[in-house]
Chain A
Amino acid sequence: MFRNTYDSDNTVFSPQGRLHQVEYALEAVKQGSAAVGLRSKTHAVLLALKRSTGELASYQQKMFRIDDHVGIAIAGLTSDARVLSNFMRQQAMSSKMLFNRPVPVNRLVSAIADKAQVNTQEYGRRPYGVGFLVIGQDKSGPHLYEFSPSGNSYEYYAMSIGARSQSAKTYLEKHYKSFEDASLEDLVRHGLHALRETLQQDKELNENNTSIGIVGPASHFEKKPVTGESFRILENGSVRPFLDTMVAKEAADAPAAPAPAAPAAPAAPASGDEDVQMAE
């Protein structure tokens, strides 16, 4: 029934000192559609690819607002994500209540990481099946973190998680040095380019399947008023101006100045995409 003797539950080390159940949980993250995060001196942004189960269904939710200064993008089990993001909201409120201080982002991420660690060490539980990219802003500027079911969390300049995220990572590794000084528009464009790498053939990013999350000063592309520099999620029509800055794939490898508005891509019909599946 099992792939090996040591993977049936999470309280067992393999002879190599590995935790197979935890490693399988990391696979659950890869079942979800991809999310990408990037950071500059002034902004942190998230981009995510939404799936839908069919033409009659809405698209999934990939981003959650935690507090004015923090937001997350998820890949993996959405229900686990909702539990964890609820916890993060509680932590954020508690910090406001106790100290009148927005919770430092790193502590928020560590808090869920510590929670996840417990699930890797006790019998009768499973590790969380979801990974987060967390962006936020605090006294030390904008940040991007990755949280994973193993209970680890890291801070990155740029990162991607979810299905085919390795391709996005390759793009980010190639370009990350230019992110630090990039404008918001350039940062999002890089993010979209990275996200595009995770698409299946013949698919493309469009208004329906793309979410953008931002912390930092507003872009001139944003129509809705932004209070301060707080976290907001752009979807549907609001994503359009950013999608229009994308450069065709062959040309994009030489990242020149932001290209003029690309020819309006036809709004692709919401084709029945494969959905996140919890079990076979």
Chain B
Amino acid sequence: MTSIGTGYDLSASTYSPDGRIFQVEYANKAVENSGTAIGLKVKHGVVLAVEKLVHSKLLVPEANRRIQTIDRHIGLATAGLLADGRHLSNRARDEAANYRETYNSPAPLKDVADRLGLYVQAYTLYSSVRPFGISTILGAVDQDGPALYVVEPSGVFFGYNGAAVGKGRQLAKTELEKLKLSELSMREAVLEAARIIYLVHDDAKEKDFELEISWIGPDSGNLHVHVPKDLFDEAEAKAKAALETFE
């Protein structure tokens, strides 16, 4: 990035001479520094998982959530600035509620992702605001079945079968590509998600972390909720075991 420090990178409303918007690229850096978040779209449902880096042992486990619920059927996981994640999830809730108000039916995930994309994009246009320092994974089971989207700081969004954002996304993507996602059951997906998060966590560089997993699908009554304790424990135990054989 040769234009750093030339003054073309101080505002989202400024292009650099070669047509880049540096503030958006810097926002992506905030994402890359954060714990990994992944999403798996499988046969009947969607599973979200995050690697929650624990900055203090005084934190109450399970109390500080990074996966949010947007509507009964929609979940959201972010990587990047935590507070921005809360801002965007509040916005997503408003959008989902607004869709319900207008059409009297649960919002299809595509529409929510579309509206969030527009919202995030607006923050890349003006010098009076900064872009969102987060990448957002949205998961849902809607009218058309399971759906998974990622909204990036630039405002672009894509649909995915398997998605990974944050620090360990490269390795996570490689692992996701090995899976036959469309054939996995939801339970299998939970186990895989836990395994991948444990795999991408860099023990050497990072402090402690906490695993967080949620799901949506028939197994959860088509509600977005965190996975039940027994399944979570099983997934975590298997993930740890898999890590030992992997090494």
Q: Taking beta carbons and an 8 Å cutoff, which residues of A are in contact with B?
A: 5-6, 10-19, 110, 113-114, 116-118, 120-124, 150-152, 154-159, 169, 172-173, 176
Contacts and interface: CB of A to CB of B under 8 A. Distances in A.
Given A12-B130, A15-B4, A15-B9, A151 B29 contact: no
Contact of B28 (A12, A17, A159): A17
Nearest to B86: A114
Given A157-B58, A157-B60, A173-B58, A13 B87 contact: no
Given A15-B26, A151-B86, A169-B58, A6 B129 contact: no
Nearest to B30: A17
Interface in B9-37: 9-12, 22-23, 26-33
A104 B27 CA distance: 33
B82 interface: yes
A114 B29 CA distance: 22
Contacts of A16: 26, 29, 33
Contacts of B131: 13
B90 interface: yes
A113 B86 contact: yes
Q: Which of B5, B12, B58 has the most CB of A within 10 A?
A: B58
B83 A152 contact: yes
Dominant secondary structure at the A interface:
loop
B180 interface: no
Interface residues of B, number: 39
Contacts of A117: 83-84, 86-87
Interface of B: 1, 4-5, 9-12, 22-23, 26-33, 56-60, 63-64, 81-84, 86-87, 90, 123, 127-133
A116 B30 contact: no
B59 A154 contact: yes
Contacts of B9: 15
Contacts, number: 105
A14 B26 contact: yes
23 contacts: A6-B10, A10-B130, A11-B12, A11-B127, A12-B10, A13-B27, A13-B130, A15-B4, A15-B26, A17-B27, A17-B28, A17-B31, A18-B30, A113-B86, A121-B132, A122-B129, A150-B83, A151-B82, A151-B87, A155-B59, A155-B60, A159-B58, A173-B56
A110 B87 CA distance: 10
Contacts of B57: 173, 176
Contacts of B87: 114, 117-118, 121, 151
Contacts of A159: 56, 58
Given A16-B29, A123-B127, 10 more contacts: A5-B5, A12-B10, A16-B26, A18-B30, A114-B90, A117-B87, A152-B82, A155-B60, A155-B63, A172-B58
B60 A116 contact: no
A120 B64 CA distance: 21
A155 B62 CA distance: 10
B7 to A, nearest CB: 8
A51 to B, nearest CB: 25
Q: Which of A150, A155, A172, A173 has the most CB of B within 10 A?
A: A155
Nearest to A8: B10
A156 B87 CA distance: 22
A112 to B, nearest CB: 11
B110 to A, nearest CB: 26
B239 to A, nearest CB: 25
A13 B133 CA distance: 9
Contact of A11 (B5, B22, B60, B129): B129
A157 B62 CA distance: 12
Given A13-B29, A156-B59, A122 B128 contact: yes
A182 B146 CA distance: 48
Contacts of A11: 11-12, 127-130
B152 to A, nearest CB: 13
B30 A13 contact: yes
B59 A120 contact: no
